[in-house]
Amino acid sequence: MSVLDYLIVVNPISGGNDKTDFYSFIEAESSRQNFSYQIYKTTGQNDADVLRKLIANTNPKTIVAVGGDGTLLLIAQIVKRTKIRIGLIPFGSANGMSKELEIPKIPDINISLDPHQRFKLCWGIIRKERVRTIDLLQINKQYFSMHLSDIGLNAKIVKRFDAEKIRGYFGYARLAFKVFRQRKQIAYELVADRETYDGKAYMIVIANATMYGTGAVINPIGILTDGIFEICIIKKISLSGFIRLLYSSIHNTKPDRTDLIQIITCEKASIAVNDFETLQVDGEVVGEVNKVDVEIIPAAIKIIC
């Protein structure tokens, strides 16, 4: 079977950015560097099934995600525990994983540069083929997370953000303040590696990574490659604390004030809440739940970064 160098998976609507310049860039690079590629544009309909068949037929060495965290996660859950490498050209609104992996987000790269020069910075990282093998989380036996998932304040914001079709940080911030004014605590019981915790919280974060796409560090001790993850419980939060949550670090080290925020490290966890709450996984709302079961899949995917 012939081997395809790059299967390039593009989300045409990610970040509200036109991808025409990227298509011309990759065509020119292919001619210049003599590599084979094929482009698949996601539609939101049966993309996972279509990609599985495409991967089986093309046998790609590397799959490149051109989009946001959702596009990256789509690929990750398909190629987990295989030898296929994943490259990333960040084109989404937030791109939390690109920050985590220190890959420059296309819209944030110096706008004085010509579009092809901007793409070249990210493509250069992919061509160097420096690979990190990172963990993946499985949630409720049907969802996967590379980055951050949560219930509570942030999940409610993400749900409204999607429903009202708002884009950008300012739109997110406007919704954030509306949701913050309506905040309520969630009664929870957490079992993490056989230890039990309970109480009330405004937000419970399931963290493989350290920070949100805004750059806000929620889990300062997170490591993508350590075979464990963290549950971050936000027990109390003021308006100023919420602003820091959205736009800057809450803590640079593991916090001592467990009455405000508690971070629990584990390999497996189960979270039960008193009412059905919105669950978001890596920026995508997946539904309303009253229980969240999480376990780590160590060394699940190979990322070029």
Per-domain residue ranges for the chain? 4-129, 139-297
Closest of 135, 139, 148 to residue 301, by C-alpha: 135
Buried b / exposed e across 248-268, counting CB within 10 Å, b at 16+?
eebbeeeeeeeebbbbbbbee
Query: According to the model, what pLDDT value does residue 247 have?
Result: 58
CB 14 within 8 A of CB 92: yes
Distance CA 179, CA 154 (A): 9
Distance CA 273, CA 114 (A): 50
CB 106 within 8 A of CB 89: yes
Distance CA 109, CA 9 (A): 21
Query: According to the model, what pLDDT value does residue 42 have?
Result: 97
Task: Please give the class, per CATH, of domain 4-129.
Answer: alpha beta
Distance CA 155, CA 175 (A): 12
**Segments of the chain scoring below 50 in pLDDT:** none
Residues 6+ apart with CB under 8 A from 250: 216, 217, 218, 241, 244, 261
Supply 229's token pair: 């993850």
Quote the distance between the C-alpha of residue 178 and its chain's center: 24
Report helix, strand or coil for 206.
strand
Query: According to the model, what pLDDT value does residue 126 have?
Result: 96
Q: How big is the chain by its Cα radius of gyration, in Å?
A: 19
Supply 115's token pair: 């579009």
Beta strands 284-304 and 85-90 are parallel
Angle between helix axes 153-163 and 168-181 (nearest 10 degrees) is: 130
| Unique residue bearing structure tokens 């950015």 | 17
Length of the chain: 305
Report helix, strand or coil for 259.
coil
Query: According to the model, what pLDDT value does residue 168 have?
Result: 59
CB 285 within 8 A of CB 159: yes
pLDDT digits (tens, 9 = 90+) for 89-124: 988 777 889 989 988 877 666 655 677 788 888 999
Q: Report DSSP state, residue 130.
A: -
Distance CA 235, CA 258 (A): 8
Task: Please give the class, per CATH, of domain 139-297.
Answer: mainly beta
Distance CA 116, CA 70 (A): 24
Task: Name residue 187's amino acid.
Answer: A
